Chains A and B, each alone.
Chain A
Amino acid sequence: MHSDGYRDHPVRSYVLTGGRAHPTRNTLRPETLLRAVDDGRELPGTAGRHERALLQTCRGTLALAELAAYLHLPVSLVAVLVSDLVDGGYLAVLSTPVHDLPDTDLLEEVLDGLRGL
Chain B
Amino acid sequence: MSTTTPARPPATGRVLPWLCVAGMVLCVAALPLVGASAPPWGVGVLGVAAVVLPVTAAVLLSRASRRDAAAFRALSVERDGLAAGLHETTQALRETTAALTAEQEARADQRAAVETAVVALSRKVQASAHRIQEEAARMVQRHAADPDVLQTSMRIDHAAAQHARQAQSLVALCGRRPGQTWEDALPLPDVVKAAAGRITAFQRVEVSGDPGLAVVGRAAEPLVHVVAELLANATQCSPPNTQVLVVIRQVQRGAVIEIDDCGVGMDPRELGRVRAIAAGERSVGIAELGEVPQTGLAVVGTYARFLDLRVDLTESVYGGMRAVVMVPGDLTEVAATAPTVLAPSVDDAWAATPAREPASTGAVPPVAADRPPAGPPVLPQRRSRRGAADGPLTVGRGQPQTNRPERPTHDQTAEEAGAWIGAFFAATADAPSQDDPDTHEPSVATDGTSEDR
Contact = CB atoms under 8 A, between A and B. Distances in A.
Interface residues of B, number: 105
A76 B147 contact: yes
B146 interface: yes
B344 A62 contact: yes
A65 B408 CA distance: 13
Interface in B341-366: 341-348, 350, 356, 358-360, 365
B134 A6 contact: yes
Interface stretch (B99-107, B282-290, B379-387): B379-387
A18 B358 CA distance: 42
A102 B157 contact: no
Contacts of A117: 384, 386, 389, 391, 394, 451-452
Contacts of A11: 190, 193-194, 197, 377, 379
Interface in A35-49: 35, 45-46, 48-49
A19 B193 CA distance: 12
A62 B413 CA distance: 11
Contacts of A116: 389, 391-392
Contacts of B157: 12-14
Contacts of B448: 114
A17 to B, nearest CB: 8
Contact of A15 (B197, B345, B394): B197
Contacts of A62: 344-346, 417
Interface stretch (B82-90, B301-309, B419-427): B419-427
B133 interface: yes
B422 A98 contact: yes
Given A97-B422, A117-B391, A33 B149 contact: no
Interface residues of A, number: 75
A61 B342 contact: no
Contacts of B206: 46
Contacts of A46: 206-208
Contact of B437 (A27, A53, A68, A112): A27
Q: Which of A1, A9, A105 has the most CB of B within 10 A?
A: A9
Interface of A: 1, 4-16, 18-19, 21-23, 26-31, 33, 35, 45-46, 48-50, 52-53, 56-63, 65-66, 68-77, 79-80, 94, 96-98, 100-103, 105-107, 109-114, 116-117
Given A13-B153, A29-B434, 10 more contacts: A1-B134, A21-B154, A29-B425, A30-B145, A72-B376, A72-B378, A76-B143, A76-B145, A77-B379, A106-B360
Interface of B: 130, 133-134, 137-138, 140-141, 143-151, 153-155, 157-158, 161, 182, 186-187, 189-191, 193-194, 196-197, 202-203, 206-208, 210, 220-221, 224, 338-339, 341-348, 350, 356, 358-360, 365, 367-369, 371, 375-386, 389, 391-394, 408, 414-415, 417-428, 434, 437-438, 442, 445-446, 448-453
28 contacts: A5-B384, A6-B134, A6-B138, A8-B133, A10-B186, A10-B220, A12-B158, A14-B158, A14-B197, A15-B202, A16-B193, A21-B153, A22-B147, A30-B421, A30-B425, A31-B422, A56-B338, A58-B344, A63-B421, A65-B446, A69-B369, A69-B450, A72-B378, A75-B144, A101-B426, A112-B392, A113-B394, A117-B391
List the 3 closest A-B pairs by CB distance, nearest first: A60-B344, A5-B383, A72-B378
